[in-house]
Amino acid sequence: MTVDDDTVRRIAHLARIKIEDSDVAGLRSELSGILDWVEQLNEVDTDGVEPMTRVAAHKLKKRKDVVTDGEMADVVVKNAPFSEDNYYVVPKVIE
């Protein structure tokens, strides 16, 4: 499977990764190579095989409905580039 230049640009945009036009050709061939490699899995006949979701026989761990965390706003916003009154402050985003 090969991807085209537009797909490379679209994937980059969706992932919010800035790429230069000069990067597109190289990324295209790398992504196509990865997909080709993974596609070898299609050669395996998986008819009637349940999808495997885990290697070991673990069950999903669950918590009780008890408040055990939080109440540390200053710690939460400590690494924010900007904060005020314990709000994160970010460039304006509005519909």
Task: Please give the residue ranges that form the binding site for other proteins (CB under 8 A).
Answer: 13-14, 16, 53-54, 58-73, 75-77, 82, 84-95
* Tokens representing residue 38 in the block: 């993974």
Least separation, in Å, of the C-beta of 94 and other proteins? 5
Q: Find out whether 10 and 27 touch, Cβ atoms under 8 Å.
A: no
CA distance 68 to 70: 7
Is the CB of 44 or the CB of 60 nearer to other proteins? 60
Least separation, in Å, of the C-beta of 65 and other proteins? 3
Least separation, in Å, of the C-beta of 39 and other proteins? 17
Is the CB of 17 or the CB of 25 nearer to other proteins? 17
Q: Find out whether 24 and 30 touch, Cβ atoms under 8 Å.
A: no
Is the CB of 49 or the CB of 60 nearer to other proteins? 60
Axis crossing angle, helix 5-14 with helix 21-39, rounded to the nearest 10: 90
